[in-house]
Amino acid sequence: MDDELITFGSEIKALGNGRVGGMLIRFSTASDPDLTDDFFTKDTILHFPAEMPVLYNHGLDKVLKKRVIGQAKATMTDAGIWAESQLDLRDEYEKEIYKLVEAGKLGYSSGALSHLVEREPAGKGVSFIKSWFVGEVSLTPTPAEPRNTIVSLKSLIPPDMAALPIDGDQSNSIQGVNKMADEIDVKALVAAELKAMKDAEAAEKARVKEIEDAKAEGARQAVEELKSKKLLRADQYHTTEPTKESDEGMGAFKAWMITGQKNHELIEPAEWAYKTSGVTNLTTGAEGGYAVPDPLLNRIIAKRDLSSWVRQAPVSIFQTEADHILIPVEDTRYADFTSTAESAGYTNDTTGNIGQINLALTKYTSYLKVSEEFISAKNSNWESWIADVLGRVEAGTENSLATAVVLADATAGSAFASATAITEPELARCVGELSNGYAVNGEAGFLVKNGTKWYLKGIAGNSFAFLPTPSGNDFFGFPAFVSDDMQAMTAGLKSVVFGNWKYFAVVETPGMVVQRNPYLYMANGQIGIFAHIRRGYDTLQTEAIRSYAQA
């Protein structure tokens, strides 16, 4: 009896619904043979029927044995023989096989009888496979060597499982095959493969951690050595450990602002101190900026909040790292509760509908120019100056953008009688016209220019003219927020806004990202600092905010 030869193809892929595909036989060259120095090419005489039965592991499994588990069709390509198979998936055993395919643990192999295989010497011990008659297609565990390897079928069977030679006692041969079959178990194979995958993942994680620990230790030793030799100033390095001494990123940030280098290439910035501009550029993330560390950012925010009416008013603030946010709103006001009998159904269909506002974020940029001497001076306290400037600039940006949205969206109220004046009754009417429960203390308030606010306070020469008690807010118990971007008391202009500010939305990406450009103003000995923020503003309910124009 001729021995059967096996050649392994490629790992197969699950194509869905029991279909699998992969290279059954791959072509190579004499300079790239397999481990047994054989190779196939497109000149190999290949014989295979139009449709071939598919076996599992060449019929060596104790349960499936030589059961046909599917049908395969092969196609000749420039790279080799491509085969697609449809598995039957009739029971749990065949389904377990398909799970192995999905896990990438099975490959194709084809078998041919040795007397039908022709080899032709191709020099230096390499053989060209001249002819190969495909006798079977099998799904087998993927071999470690990812190229074709021709082996004997008997080599796949452990020595103690091999069939005994034919010596006249047929029962010995049968016992050998049965012993081999008893030792092969599909479920055990699945469990072993899954365990191997988990072990490999754990080993890779341990290896990566070991490398990172070694890098950190090497960087730490480098810093200590340079410090001991007095070759490194304290402001030129920063540890990646978030301890009190690390000042939450300020040391590294200041060193980068001064030199443009990330800790003199000694230590990469820690994630909690530096975030790439992907935070603000959500499409490419390629702008290369760094997030302002929390201590400096908090000072910028504190300065901003002193000047931004948006941060003083009780507006609805949303934060996101996406490029937009969907905010649910009431298209119309909900109806009140209605009286219903205990057994009666609800028949009032006047309830409002829930809609949504798609509030997109926009990137806003500001830039500063500072001299190299100023930013390099050890005691210049430049970070306080930058915090003050960026805080004021951010407040001005918010005041301008938010005020423009309010004036555009607000519902028009009754105009004032004069083109240049406002009376006490007219200001009181602003509060009265905001109906439907929007005029709520702690939520509602006025928005005016600073000059308009103090003009109103000066009416009748009494700054408490509109207050029930001296302990209240600016007018009638409501605060007056100031924006210099509001319109003046001039004919036709909207000089006063009164509304419930819970229905005005601000969406922002947390933080501020900066970039350093040492080349733009190099001729002047200056460094360009570009700061980016992302903001969006919109009115959630236009009837909740009303604007009042001069005649």
Mean pLDDT score, 85-94: 85
DSSP assignment of 513-527 equals: EEEEESSTTGGGTEE
The answer on 205 and 133 residing in a single domain is no
Q: CA separation (Å) from 137 to 54, 150, 157, 230?
A: 5, 14, 18, 72
CA angle 80, 82, 85 (to 5 degrees): 155
Specify whether 142 is located in the same domain as 197: no
Strand-pair category, 45-47 with 127-133: parallel
How many alpha carbons fall within 13 Å on the CB side of residue 83? 33
Q: Is residue 290 packed enough to be buried (19+ CB in 10 Å), middle (13-18) or exposed (0-12)?
A: buried
pLDDT for 309: 93
Same domain, yes or no: 469 and 426: yes
Within 8 A by CB and 6+ apart from 289, the residues are 276, 277, 280, 513, 514, 515, 530, 532
- Domain count for the chain, please give it: 3
Q: Which of 177-186, 217-226, 341-350 shows the lowest per-residue confidence on average (mean pLDDT)? A: 177-186
Q: Does 156 have pLDDT greater than 70?
A: no
What is the chain's percent helix, strand, coil content, to nearest 5? 35, 25, 40
Q: 118 with 264, same domain?
A: no
pLDDT at res. 389: 87
Domain end, chosen from 110, 137, 160, is at 160
In a domain, 115, yes or no: yes
Q: Is there a domain that residue 520 lies in?
A: no
Q: Do residue 127 and residue 218 come from a single domain?
A: no
Best CA proximity match to 48, nearest among 26, 78, 75? 75
Burial class (CB in 10 A: 0-12, 13-18, 19+), 116: middle
Q: How confident is the model at residue 226 (pLDDT cuts 50, 70, 90)?
A: low
Is pLDDT of 177 > 50?
no
Domain region containing 495: 413-500
Asked whether the beta carbons of 106 and 98 are under 8 A apart, the reply is: no
pLDDT at 434: 92
Q: Of the given ranges (50-54, 374-378, 387-391, 496-500), which has the lowest mean pLDDT?
A: 374-378
Contact by Cβ (8 Å): 107, 142: yes
Query: Do residues 150 and 208 both lie within one domain?
Result: no
Q: What is the pLDDT of residue 180?
A: 37
Q: Environment class of residue 133 by beta-carbon count within 10 Å: exposed (0-12), middle (13-18) or buried (19+)?
A: middle
Of 260 and 485, the one with more pLDDT:
485
Residue 197: pLDDT over 50: yes
In angstroms, rounded to a whole number, what is the distance separating the alpha carbons of residues 29 and 313?
A: 76
Same domain membership, residue 209 and residue 138: no
What is the amino acid identity at position 96? E
CA distances in angstroms from 227 to 231, 265, 323, listed in the order given: 6, 15, 44
Question: Of the ranges 49-53, 492-496, 532-536, which is most confident?
Answer: 492-496
Q: What is the mean pLDDT of the chain?
A: 76
Q: Indicate if the pLDDT at residue 159 is higher than 50.
A: no
The answer as to whether 460 is a domain residue is yes
Q: Mean per-residue pLDDT for 479-487? A: 94
- Tell whether 110 and 255 lie within a shared domain: no
Helical (H) or strand (E) element with 406: helix 382-409
Q: If pLDDT is split at 50, 70 and 90, which confidence band does 227 have?
A: low
Nearest to 73 by CA among 128, 132, 24, 127: 24
For the segment 289-297, the average pLDDT, to the nearest whole number, is 68
Residue 53 lies in a domain: yes
Indicate whether 542 belongs to any domain: no
Q: What is the pLDDT of residue 158?
A: 47
Task: Point out the domain boundary residue: 225, 252, 274.
Answer: 274
Element (H, E) at 453: helix 450-457
**pLDDT at res. 173:** 35
Which of 241, 274, 307 is the C-terminal boundary of a domain? 274
H or E element, residue 193: helix 186-228
Question: 76 with 92: CB under 8 angstroms?
Answer: no
Angle, vertex CA 291, rays to CA 289 and CA 292, nearest 5: 120
Q: What are phi and psi of 335, to 5 degrees?
A: -75, 160
Identify whether residues 154 and 9 lie together within a single domain: yes
Distance CA 41, CA 26 (A): 8
Pairing, β 324-330 against β 354-360: antiparallel
| Residues 149 and 198 occupy one common structural domain | no
Phi, psi angles (nearest 5°) of residue 150: -90, 120
Neighbours of 381 (CB within 10 A): 9
Picking from 221, 218, 361, 216, the residue whose alpha carbon sits closest to that of residue 279 is 361
Q: What gap in Å lies between CA 422 and CA 296, rounded to an integer?
A: 43
Same domain, 123 and 64: yes
CA angle, corner 256, sides to 251 and 262, nearest 5?
95
Same domain, 24 and 149: yes
Which DSSP helix (H) or strand (E) runs through 176? helix 170-182
Does some domain include residue 452? yes
486's tokens: 């509001």
Helix (H, G, I), strand (E, B) or coil at 512: coil
pLDDT in tens, 321-354: 888 888 887 766 666 777 777 765 655 555 556 7
Residue type for position 12: I
**Cα(359)–Cα(316) distance, integer angstroms:** 13
Confidence (pLDDT) at 238: 46
pLDDT value of residue 343: 63
Residue 97 located in a structural domain: yes
Express each pLDDT in 414-426 by its tens digit: 999 999 999 988 9
Residue 320 lies inside a defined structural domain of this protein: no
Residue 521 one-letter amino acid? Y
| pLDDT band with cut points at 50, 70 and 90 for residue 52 | confident
Integer angstrom CA distances of residue 72 from 24, 110, 508: 10, 11, 57
Which pLDDT score, from 0 to 100, does residue 6 have?
Answer: 66
pLDDT at 221: 72
